[in-house]
Amino acid sequence: MTVLLVVGLIVIALSALASGSEAALFSVSYARARALLDAGKPGAKALVRIKEDMTRAIGTIVIINNVANIVGSALVGALAAAVFSSAILGVFFACFTLTIIVFSELLPKTLAEQHADRIATLIAPAVLMLVSVLRPVLWLVNAMLRPFHVPHAMRTKVSEDEIKMMALLGRESGAIEQDESAMIRRVFRLNDITADDMMTPTDRVESIPGEIAIGEQRKRVLDLRHSRVPVTGDAPDQILGIVLTRDLIAAAARDEFQATPTDFLQEALRVRHDVAADDLLPLFQKKEQHLAIVEDADGRMTGVVTLEDVLEELVGEITDEKDVRPETIKRVSKNEIIVDEGTAVSKINHFFNVAIPFDGQIGEYVLERFRRRPKVGETLDEGGLIFVISSMSRTRPKHITVRKRG
């Protein structure tokens, strides 16, 4: 009887250890393993090696688990048959099977998932050692599987959708701030937005003729609203380069009225209309430029895009002292308002006495719910309110009409 109890406990313990180890190793992502390694956690280096190729480690654990369950159970059965009568034997096997399910499967896996980091780093070195010991067996298993083209487990790759969801969950749990979560999601939108989406079209571009003396267009120089502007040639779409507004104003202040904008000309950065925003940002940094001329496939100017345009895709609209900030909430009736995209959702909650669970701006909330760039007129029904896209900026909602349902 004593031998039966000892063997039974060993079988349960081995199976529980294998099941818990497997659950812990699968619960820790490759990224988390790298983070533990960077934090200097003991066992993290072995864990990273396992996560880079899970095939051998999981194969080792499966072998141990099956040996414990199959060979161990057979041995327990043989010992039980010698101890118990046939009438009690059935009851014993039912109890033993239930014990295996609870204490060798459910409980170890539950605990391993709850304490995955600690358990995975603890058992990783031992698992690597067992992999070395069982290498011949693993080679034989792989040789048997090779005709079926079973691939080796590769390091888990994280998709954009997974990272964005992690950012959302991190914000909801309080692990990261709302603005950090929003910026992470905006970063992934950069490769979906092109210069064509962000640019100011040619007919709205502020420019200055290059060959007209500053004295003849002094008022125009002083009224320039941007820090740098394109310099045009004979035709409005013929761009000679760009000029810094401060250079023109300084020339006018020195009474250099015969000078022309071409005297202060700088080479213009030119980009294709389909270049992605995430390529524009490093290009601006490399060229040390803040403005680029956008050209179509034939080399004709279609507009201009600035460093500020790209940054606004990351941080939201940037308003300087020359910009007129629109009214954030315009009341239409007691059940309808028109809001600017920068309006806090908390203000809308207060106006309509609702509780939309979002700690941020309405523009970001709408983009998150649509999961794409919406079109003017599209609607969203959320939290007892109906949101209608009233107008769009180049890449995101600008004004949104909000109505209380019913």
- Token pair recorded at residue 116: 């995955």
Residue 95: the pLDDT is: 86
Q: What value does the mean pLDDT of the chain take? A: 83
> Of residues 315 and 348, which shows the higher confidence score?
348
**Which residues, including other chains, have CB under 8 Å from residue 355's CB and lie 6 or more apart?**
349, 383
Q: Quick one: pLDDT band at residue 291, thresholds 50, 70, 90? A: very high
Reported as half-sphere exposure (CB side, CA atoms, 13 A), residue 7 has a value of 16
Let me know: does 277 contact 193? Beta carbons within 8 Å: yes
Interval 332-348: pLDDT, tens: 877 889 998 888 888 88
**Which residues, including other chains, have CB under 8 Å from residue 342's CB and lie 6 or more apart?**
316, 317, 328, 361, 362, 363
Interval 369-390: pLDDT, tens: 887 788 889 999 888 899 999 9
- Token pair recorded at residue 146: 């090779």
Rounded to an integer, the average pLDDT of 68-85 is 80
**Which residues, including other chains, have CB under 8 Å from residue 24's CB and lie 6 or more apart?**
112, 113, 115, 116, 119, 120, 123
CATH architecture of the domain covering 329-404: 2-Layer Sandwich (3.30)
Residue 33: the pLDDT is: 87
Rounded to an integer, the average pLDDT of 39-53 is 88
Is 195-315 a domain of CATH 3.40.50.300?
Answer: no
Residue 271: the pLDDT is: 92
**Would you call 336 helix, strand, or coil by DSSP?**
strand
- Beta-bridge partner residues of 271: 294
What is the pTM assigned to this prediction? 0.55
Interval 344-367: pLDDT, tens: 888 888 888 888 888 778 888 888
Report whether pLDDT(90) > 90: no
Domain ranges of the chain: 2-148, 160-192, 195-315, 329-404
Report whether pLDDT(304) > 80: yes
Q: Quick one: pLDDT band at residue 30, thresholds 50, 70, 90? A: confident
Report whether pLDDT(61) > 50: yes
Q: Quick one: pLDDT band at residue 89, thresholds 50, 70, 90? A: confident
Which residue bears the tokens 């072995």? 46
Alpha-carbon span 304 to 203, nearest angstrom: 10
Report whether pLDDT(167) > 80: no
Let me know: does 209 contact 186? Beta carbons within 8 Å: no
Residue 158: the pLDDT is: 64
Residue 82: the pLDDT is: 78
Let me know: does 120 contact 30? Beta carbons within 8 Å: no
Interval 129-158: pLDDT, tens: 988 888 888 788 777 766 765 454 444 456
Residue 154: the pLDDT is: 44
Angle between helices 54-66 and 116-133 (to 10 degrees): 80
Kindly state the DSSP code that residue 285 receives in the 8-state scheme: H
Residue 253 φ then ψ, to 5°: -65, -30
DSSP H helical ranges for 67-115: 72-83, 86-99, 107-114
- % of residues, the chain, pLDDT over 70: 92
Report whether pLDDT(277) > 70: yes
Rounded to an integer, the average pLDDT of 200-224 is 89
